[in-house]
Structure 1
Amino acid sequence: MIPPTAPAVEFVRVTRTFEGGDQPVTALSDVSLTVPRGAVFGVVGESGAGKSTLLRMMNGLDHPTSGRVLFDGIDLSTLTKRELNAVRHRIGVVFQSFNLVGNLTVRDNIALPLRLQRGRGAEVSRRVAELVDFVGLGPRLDHYPAQLSGGEKQRVAIARALATHPTMLLCDEPTSALDTHTTGEILTLLGATRAEFGTSIVLVTHELDAVKRICDSAAIFEAGELRDIIAVEAQTGSRELSYVEHVRAELQR
């Protein structure tokens, strides 16, 4: 049973070390953070900062070397494979490269996770219709990915991620392949997702403007360490020129 006050995700002193080469590589080092339920939480960091490892742990695809990752109060590392698969149905993922199936239409791409769960025809059709309307792709329902623009592909990907009624959406650089105007549209759609469905959203991005636009707070990672968690609406300045201070100043401007 989910504790009523449990955060969407909680990392408790999480370290992840990978063996290999001459010496182990620490992707995350003693990370503790909380993603509040219903929040839009940004994760910012340069390449190699540990962001991908963080997302994989939130999705139960990887587990800590030490520490705990809790999803809705549940320690993911204690679950059986069947229990973990059930939890993953409550977690949607949106990728930078869209990851659509090329030989499936918009309709069938959105329906895919429901069919994998053996959803019934009428129920699947109803849910697809709801999501197509929500993301504004009705005229494209029977088109294939190759016939869509980048923004339209990402709308399909968001609709597909929402198909199973997830409580959390993990977004891995969802706007980095898009132009400025389309980026704004996708960010607006993500904001509407939180407002419409109460979905908790984790947004991993290099784009500070994206974080400033829709996130409530953002974690700054550097070389596997959590350097700071910033309230995005805060209004303070900084004269430091380090990466962490640069991010802090931008998000608090």
Structure 2
Amino acid sequence: MTDRPNVLVPIQILEGESIPEGVPGLLANAHVVLLGYHVIPDQTAPGQARMQFEERATQRLEEFEEMLEEAGATVETRLVFTHDGQTTIDRMIYEHDCIAALVPKATGPPEDVLVAVRGTVGVDRIARVVAGLFRETGVAVTLFHLAAEDETDEDVQTLLDGVADRLVELGMDERAIRTRIGRGTDPKQAIADAADEYDAIVMGESDPSIATFVFGMRAKQVAERFLGPVIVVQRERPEAESDGNPGEDSSDEPQ
């Protein structure tokens, strides 16, 4: 039995962002950490902002929570007023042991998902997310790797077959797993081009900064070139960070 993967879904709760169409179905088998956050000016105290906006923000957060739960997800919510949105996201990923974070965009009912496999690092974590979300759902997953110049198709196929075997071990139907090899020099464009045929992308984080990858330039570039949601599987937390905070922000305590 595959456990529900913890997936962070950050929403700028007072900036008009919402849960896009199709996302609840995509995360039906996840444990969602739903983060409603609002970035406030440096001169504004988080407690002051909470007093002013908490009721409206909480109401919206509860509406989104209900949407996700109706689709089948388990949900815990956090509401944070902060001076640094990225650091808050970073901290929430660590505090709630989220294996993935979602760049939320609208999609149809998930039927075909592209899984970008960039190398052997993090492959097991990617497999755990994919199997946890899509095992026994009828969703087809395509394992995609952009080959380097010195990689043969046989080398890449061996890598992808290994990921497929791990997915089967985790309960995926092997008939729902496909493989695809790409060639090119721009990984972001190659992934985005390949993803045009799919409802969502699952891709591994490679940048040391979680927040930068999820909401910074790399993920932003992929998301801008692709209309659907992107699930970014987080790197394993380094041992050196296991007892410390990944970064301090000026948030009030989440509720």
TM-score of the alignment, normalized to the shorter chain, above 0.5: no
TM-score (norm 1): 0.29
TM-score (norm 2): 0.29
